[in-house]
């Protein structure tokens, strides 16, 4: 009997997918479900971008691009960094990928050997540990506290590398999924200095860059040119289904990633790349900034209401579109809470166990990537449910 490889067996589906399937069944039965579990913008891709894709199709611009991406797009990203984040980076160091997912695969594959340890925050983005399994690498979750901006302290990092001598890489995210926390610049400076001192590669996932609330915006690359940056058109630019992202890597890694990209997927989608050339246009950014303000309004509203209802949110989100809320006032098991909230109240949210082990039974993630009207209604449903 032919069995799937061990690495495939190690990779778990998301628990929220189970909940989504249940939600679909309930919806098919005519129940109204409010979705606060999704991890993508509720807004459509701006028209200017879509129109450019239509033009590209009509002009038959549908052949492969270079594996590293269209030079014009790499230049446009470099220009955007300079304009919006005062981060000056050569387009050569920017590699266009199929989503941040493609960037994560390339960067991790270029850095890690089989048997190495990958240091991750727990909670953190669930796919990271699964990329580790794919590469026969051991994911090491570092339990992180709300009181420390959901980041490991230098002491904890020192302990982690003592316990895991094969640690070669540390992965962080800012703003973070699921916590919405942002890494302060001075904190990143000290983390980057620590990484350098211990010969650890530092990856910072900035996929939610641009979606921040009243906090200093900077790019990790301006702290240290040796940081590997992950980014994407999925979130701020509302292009999740276009499958387009990018990574910024130290110069020496460019040929390595070029080679990997050529072999793993050839190139990112051509029409998406052409369309994305319009993503930095003034009129598009204006629309995206209005949306950013709406996320902030909704996040603030949901934050206040959840607190009123008795959730604890020890770290107020400063970005992304998530709230990571402690529901231990109502339950011993957040997964059970999500199940009951879905079935009894018709609100879908994500259980903490999708993001790691640490305190997973206490936490749930809610997203504010839904209309204010739906969020208000969800709050009423949650109120009725817990009372």
| Binding region for ligand PLP (CB under 6 A) | 39, 99-101, 125, 173, 177, 205, 207, 232, 234, 240, 245
CB of 295 to ligand PLP, least distance (A): 14
d(CA 308, CA 69): 48
Contacts of 300 (CB under 8 A, 6+ apart): 213
* Cβ-proximal residue to ligand PLP, closest one: 99
Closest CB to ligand PLP among 173 and 191? 173
Listed in sequence order, the DSSP H helices in the chain are: 6-10, 15-28, 47-58, 71-85, 99-111, 127-134, 154-163, 185-197, 254-264, 270-276, 282-309, 334-340, 372-386
Residue pair 208/175 in contact by the 8 Å Cβ criterion: yes
CB of 139 to ligand PLP, least distance (A): 15
Cis peptide before 264 (omega within 30 of 0): no
CA–CA distance from 63 to each of 269, 308, 318 (Å)? 9, 54, 40
Which is it for strands 228-232 and 201-205: parallel, antiparallel or unpaired? parallel
CB of 239 to ligand PLP, least distance (A): 9
CB of 131 to ligand PLP, least distance (A): 10
Please count the other Cβ atoms lying within 10 Å of the Cβ belonging to residue 216.
9
CA–CA distance from 215 to each of 212, 233, 318 (Å)? 6, 21, 7
Closest CB to ligand PLP among 179 and 382? 179
d(CA 381, CA 35): 12
Closest CB to ligand PLP among 46 and 245? 245
CB of 234 to ligand PLP, least distance (A): 4
CB of 21 to ligand PLP, least distance (A): 19
- Within 13 Å and on the Cβ side, how many CA atoms surround 173? 27
Closest CB to ligand PLP among 245 and 346? 245
CB of 125 to ligand PLP, least distance (A): 4
């Amino acid at each position: 009997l032919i069995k799937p490889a061990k690495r495939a067996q190690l990779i778990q589906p998301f628990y929220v997918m189970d909940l989504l399937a249940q939600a679909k069944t309930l919806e098919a039965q005519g129940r109204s479900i409010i979705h606060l579990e999704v991890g993508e913008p509720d807004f459509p891709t701006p028209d200017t971008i879509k129109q450019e894709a239509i033009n590209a199709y009509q002009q038959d611009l549908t052949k492969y691009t270079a594996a590293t991406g269209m030079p014009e797009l790499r230049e446009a990203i470099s220009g955007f960094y300079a304009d919006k984040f005062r981060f000056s980076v050569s387009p050569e160091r920017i590699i266009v990928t199929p989503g941040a997912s493609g960037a994560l695969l390339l960067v991790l594959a270029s850095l890690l050997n089989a048997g190495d340890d990958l240091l991750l925050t727990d909670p953190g983005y669930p796919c990271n540990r699964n990329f580790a399994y794919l590469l026969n690498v051991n994911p090491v979750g570092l339990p992180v506290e709300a009181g420390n901006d959901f980041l490991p302290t230098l002491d904890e990092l020192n302990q982690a590398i003592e316990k895991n001598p094969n640690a070669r890489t540390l992965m962080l995210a800012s703003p973070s999924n699921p916590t919405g926390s942002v890494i302060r610049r001075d904190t990143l400076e000290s983390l980057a200095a620590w990484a350098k001192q211990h010969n650890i590669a530092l990856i910072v996932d900035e996929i939610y860059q641009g979606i921040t609330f009243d906090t200093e915006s900077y790019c990790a690359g301006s702290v240290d040119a040796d940081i590997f940056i992950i980014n994407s058109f999925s979130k701020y630019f509302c292009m999740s289904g276009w499958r387009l992202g990018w990574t910024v890597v130290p110069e020496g890694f460019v040929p390595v990633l070029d080679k990997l990209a050529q072999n793993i997927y050839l190139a990112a989608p051509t029409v998406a790349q052409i369309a994305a050339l319009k993503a930095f246009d003034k009129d598009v950014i204006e629309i995206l900034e209005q949306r950013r303000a709406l996320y902030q309004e909704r996040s603030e509203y949901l934050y206040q209401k959840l607190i009123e209802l008795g959730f604890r949110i020890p770290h107020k989100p400063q970005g992304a579109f998530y709230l990571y809320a402690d529901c231990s006032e109502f339950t011993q098991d957040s997964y059970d809470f999500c199940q009951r909230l879905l079935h009894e109240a018709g609100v879908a949210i994500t259980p903490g166990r999708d993001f790691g082990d640490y305190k997973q039974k206490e936490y749930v993630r809610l997203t504010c990537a839904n209309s204010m009207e739906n969020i208000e209604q969800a709050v009423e449903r949650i109120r009725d449910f817990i009372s």
